Structure 1
Amino acid sequence: MKIAIIGANGQSGKLILAEALKRGHEVTAIVRRADSTSHTPVLVKDVFELTAEDLSAFDVVVSAIGFWTEETFPLFDKVFRHVSQLLAGTETRFIVVGGAGSLFVDPAHTTQLLETPDFPAAFYPLAKAMTDALVTLRTFSATAWTFFSPAADFDAEGKASGNYQLGGEELILNAAGESYISYADYALALVDEIENGNFIRQRFTAVAEK
């Protein structure tokens, strides 16, 4: 498959790129600066300067882009909106590296993780921005989007177990009763979704063992 990864030089983007290349896919890194993206074609362009023509050759576009300050958190919504508009009405899928805060913690789907008393206050602005961006994404019925929420404990340094469990809209736990996944297992699950296409216009999540 032909895959584009926006933000391919970030922590999650690098692992997704490596996993896709390992499986023989054709991967293009879309980055603002051409560094740390060897062994793959690179399109050096700001995400907001991307055009429909830029993305037309790809089967899947992945957004692994991150924003880490309160001033830039609103850009998640703008990125999702912009790329969704570019891909609307096409067969190109749009897969987003999402957040865990929007996962529901009850079967009735009345309470999201970020609304629970123990949710860390320091992470709330980021979680709220990602949650709002998911609401925007859901409005694009003509775009084949997928929002992939990690577990609550999203471990950048964790090892790859090679095994994971999938869920849908609700927070799930592993056999140890933990909401945990490493970036490496997350990348594995994301590339599996690229290949399988099980969650078109849906959000899903995954957990793994430490």
Structure 2
Amino acid sequence: MKIAIIGATGHAGSFILQEAVNRGIEVTAIVRHPEKLATGIPYLQKDLFDLTTEDLQKFDVVVDAFNAPQGKEELHQTSIDHLLSILAPTTTRLLVVGGASSLFIDEEKTQRMIDGVPTDAPFYPTAHNMYLALLELKKDTKVNWTYLSPAAFFNPDGQRTGTYQLNDDRLIKNAAGKSEISMADYAIALLDEIENQQHVKEHISVVSR
């Protein structure tokens, strides 16, 4: 299996890259600054918006771990649009590192987490644009995508326990009553989904046990 990771030097992307390497998967990092990578990691030095169908069609899976910079949060939407466009003629699968804001917070699925976030909250632009990107993803009929939302607290410093709970597109809590997942355990869940292919064209979520 050949996978590519966009944003492989970012917080989530670096954990996903390491998990793939640990599993012996043939992985390529798609980055603008390859000097941030560990020695020996194959890479394609290119901006996401410069990627072409030819660049990506050789991969079985592309992981989108792109994180838009502050002040340009709308790039979460335009980046998804671009990836869907260039992947449409291929059989390459798209795995998106999503946000928790798009998750439903009630059993009836009438209210999402983003609905209760004040528009003046510092993280609102990112949360809102990631939610809108998901809506665009759901409209697509050509690409085999999976959108994996982390729990509300996506902990970069959390322990790698090797366990997790998958759920649908509702926000759930762990045994301690917290909505939390370490980036290391998130990476495990994402690579498991890549290998098992159980949630194609679905929005799912993951939380610690």
Same fold by TM-score greater than 0.5: yes
Q: Unpaired runs of 5+ in structure 2?
A: none
Using the alignment, how far apart are the partners of 1:36 and 1:159 within structure 2?
23
For structure 1, the residue ranges without an aligned partner over 5 or more in a row are none
Aligned partner of 1:77 in structure 2 is 77
Alpha-carbon distance between aligned partners in 2 of 1:183 and 1:93, rounded to the nearest angstrom:
22
Q: 1:119 to 1:151 in 2, by over 3 A?
A: farther
Structure 1 residue 118, shift from structure 2 partner: 8.5
Matched, 1:153 2:150: no
Q: Secondary structure at the match of 2:122?
A: helix
> Alpha-carbon deviation of 1:90?
2.4
Deviation at 1:30, TM superposition (A): 0.3
Deviations 1:87-138, CA, capped at 9 Å, x for gaps: 1142210001110001001122111012236999222221111000000111
- Give percent identity, aligned residues only: 47
2:135 alignment counterpart: 135
Stretch of structure 1 that moved more, 33-42 or 117-126: 117-126
TM-score, normalising length: structure 2: 0.95
Write the mapping of 1:89-168 to structure 2, written as runs, cut at 5 A.
89-116=89-116, 121-168=121-168
Give the Cα separation in 2 of the matches to 1:32 and 1:83. Answer: 17
Contact 1:68 1:126 (C-alpha < 8 Å) held by counterparts: no
Question: Number of matched residues?
Answer: 208
| Structure 1 runs of 4+ with >4 Å offset | 117-120
Aligned to 1:61: 62
Alpha-carbon offset, residue 156 of structure 1: 0.8
Residue deviations 1:8-63 (CA, integer Å, cap 9, x gap): 11111111011011111100000112122232211001111111000011000001
- TM-score, L = length of structure 1: 0.95
Cα RMSD of the aligned pairs, angstroms, is: 1.5
User: 1:101–1:127: 8 Å Cα contact kept in structure 2?
Assistant: yes
Go from structure 1 to structure 2 and tell me whether the alpha carbon gap of 1:118 and 1:163 turns closer, same or farther (over 3 Å shift). Answer: farther
Cα pair 2:53 2:89 within 8 Å, conserved? no
3-state DSSP of counterpart to 2:30: strand
1:15 touches 1:184 (CA, 8 Å); kept in 2?
A: yes
Q: Measure, in 1, the Cα distance between the counterparts of 2:19 and 2:107.
A: 33
Q: d(CA) in 2 for partners of 1:174 and 1:119?
A: 28
How far apart are the structure 1 equivalents of 2:89 and 2:42? 26
Q: CA, structure 1 residues 118+48, in 2 after alignment: closer, same or farther (shift >3 Å)? A: closer
SS at match of 2:107: coil
CA distance in 1, matches of 2:78, 2:181: 27
The residue that corresponds to 2:14 in the other structure is 14
2:69 pairs with 1:41:
no
Answer whether contact 1:19 1:191 (CA < 8 A) is retained.
yes
Q: Distance in 1 between matches of 2:33 and 2:103?
A: 33
- Counterpart of 1:29? 29
Matched letter for residue 191 of structure 1 = L
Q: CA–CA distance in 1 between the matches of 2:24 and 2:34?
A: 22
User: SS state of the match for residue 36, structure 2?
Assistant: coil
Contact 1:113 1:119 in 2 (8 A): no
